[in-house]
């Protein structure tokens, strides 16, 4: 199965170079793998292990701690419905039930056409807009049952195509231009920060 493409491998190396220790890039690289394939493959984890210099078991250990990483294929759209307290009070659980019947699946399952995976999730920080949901981590606030059905219909028909497939988070990436880069500071860089030194001099 899929390793990172050449282009993504290059990006991975660029990301690793931002951190004082390569292992710190683990989660960003797992996101990169998930962006590429929609889920994190074993091959990608093995490759990431090599890239950051840890064992594959360590990569899996980290990856599996975090809910967003999927190790099996999921739908093109991950529909996450919040049922935590604020949403529960405002009908989140009922919305989830409705979604189950509209999509014909239970939380954790994927529709047969491979388009939707449904999840019952914890608070997604939109509590004042309850009940709320995310599709591929894009927010939909104060959703009624008909609105939900419309959203599903639009995604199915392609009428809505502004949501990238599962795995893509920010569409803009941080890029640090070489001429502006201050550089990583590793724990071994024990020098006194220059600006502290020079402004102290300026003061005295």
Partner 1 sequence: MSTTEVPRIITSRFDHEDSHTLARYEATGGYQALRKAIGMAPAAVFDEVKAASLLGRGGAGFPAGVKWGLAPAEVWPRYLVVNGDESEPGTYKDRLLMERDPHQLIEGVLLACYAIGCGQAFLYVRGEMALAQEHIAAALNDAYAAGYVGRNILGTDFSVDVVLTWGAGAYIVGEETALIESLEGNRGMPRLKPPFFPAAKGLYMQPTIVNNVETLSNLPWIISNGGEAFAALGAETSRGTRMFAVSGHVKTPGVFEVEYGVTTFRDLIFSPQYGGGIRNDNAIKAFIPGGASAPWFFEEHLDLPLEKVTVDRAGSMLGSGAIVVMDETTDAVKACLRVVRFFARESCGKCTPCREGTTWLEKILQRILDGYGRPSDLALLMDVCDNISPGIAWPPKQTTICPLGPSAVSPIASAMERFRSEFDARITQAEQTRISVPVAFPKAVTHA
Partner 2 sequence: MPESEAPAVDGVVVEINGHEVVARKGELLIDAAERAGTYIPRFCYHERMKPVGMCRMCLVEVDTGRGPALQPSCMIECTPGMKVETESEITKKAQDGVLEFLLLNHPLDCPVCDKGGECPLQDQTMAFGPGESRMVEEKRHKEKPIPISDLVLLDRERCILCDRCTRFAKDVAGDPLIHFIHRGNNTEINTFPDEPFASYFSGNTVQICPVGALTASTYRFKARPWDLDTTESTCQGCSVGCRISIDSSRDQVQRYSGVDIDPVNWGWLCDKGRFSSEAVAAEGRLSEPLLRTAAGLTPARWSDALAAAAKALSAASSSAIAFIGGARLTNEDAYAWAKLAKGVLGTDNVDAQLADGLPAEAALGLPRTTIDELCAPGGTVLLLGPDPKEELPVLFLRLRHAVENDRVTLLEISPRSTGITSLAKASLQPRPGETGDLLRALTASVDADRDIAGVPADRVNAVRALLAAANGPIKVVLGRASLSESVAVTLDAATVLLEARPDTVFLPALRRANIHGALDMGLAPGMLPGRVTLESARDWFAECWPTVPAQRGLDTVGILEAAAAGRIDVLVLLGADPLADVPDADLASRGLAGARTVISVDTLLNSSSAQADIVLAAAGFAEKAGTTTNLEGRVSSLSQRVTPPGTARPDWVLATELASRLGTDLGFTSHVDVLAEIGSIAPAHLGLTAELVASSPSGVLVPGELPAPIVDEEEAAIGDEVSAAADAVDVEVADGASEVETDGGEQAEPIDPELLAELDQAEGAAAQPALVAFSAAPAVVSPPVDSYSFRLVATRKLYDQGTIVQSGNHLAGLAPGTSVRVSPYDFDRLGVEAGGTVSVRSPRTMMMMPIHADAGVARGTAAVVVNQSDHQVSNLVNITDLVTELRIETTK
Nearer to partner 2, 53 or 114 (CB): 53
42 phi and psi, to 5 degrees? -60, -40
**Please, which of residues 101-120 interact with partner 1 by CB under 8 A?**
none
Nearer to partner 1, 89 or 153 (CB): 89
- Cis peptide leading into residue 131 (ω within 30°): yes
- Decide: 4 and 47 in contact? Cβ < 8 Å: yes
Question: Stretches 59-67, 130-138, 145-153, 188-196: which one binds partner 2 (CB under 8 A)?
Answer: 59-67
> Which entry of partner 2, partner 1, none binds 122, CB below 5 to 8 A by partner kind?
partner 1
If binding is defined by CB under 8 A, does position 24 make contact with partner 1? yes
Residue 191 burial (CB count, 10 A): 7
Single residue of 18, 27, 28, 54 touching partner 2 by CB under 8 A: 54
**Please, which of residues 132-161 interact with partner 1 by CB under 8 A?**
134, 136-139
3-state secondary structure of 140: strand
> Which entry of partner 1, partner 2, none binds 80, CB below 5 to 8 A by partner kind?
partner 1
Residue closest to 114 by CA, chosen among 123, 105, 127, 122: 105
- Decide: 136 and 163 in contact? Cβ < 8 Å: yes
């Amino acid at each position: 199965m899929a390793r990172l493409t050449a282009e993504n491998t290059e990006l991975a190396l660029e990301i690793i170079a931002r951190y004082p220790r390569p292992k710190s890039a683990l989660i960003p690289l797992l996101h990169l793998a998930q962006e590429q394939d929609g889920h994190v493959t074993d091959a990608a984890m093995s490759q990431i292990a090599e890239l950051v210099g840890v064992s594959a078991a360590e990569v899996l250990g980290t990856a599996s701690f975090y809910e967003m990483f999927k190790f099996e294929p999921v739908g093109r759209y991950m529909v996450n419905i919040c049922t935590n307290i604020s949403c529960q009070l405002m009908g989140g659980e009922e919305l989830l039930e409705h979604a189950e019947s509209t999509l014909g699946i239970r939380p954790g399952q994927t529709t047969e056409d491979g388009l939707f995976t449904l999840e019952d999730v914890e608070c997604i920080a939109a509590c004042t807009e309850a009940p709320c949901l995310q599709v591929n981590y894009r927010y939909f606030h104060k959703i009624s049952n008909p609105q939900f059905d419309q959203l599903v219909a639009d995604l199915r028909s392609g009428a809505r195509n502004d949501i990238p497939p599962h795995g893509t988070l920010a569409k803009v990436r941080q890029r640090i231009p070489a001429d502006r880069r201050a550089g990583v500071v590793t724990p071994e860089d024990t020098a006194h920060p220059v600006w502290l030194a020079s402004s102290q001099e300026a003061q005295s």
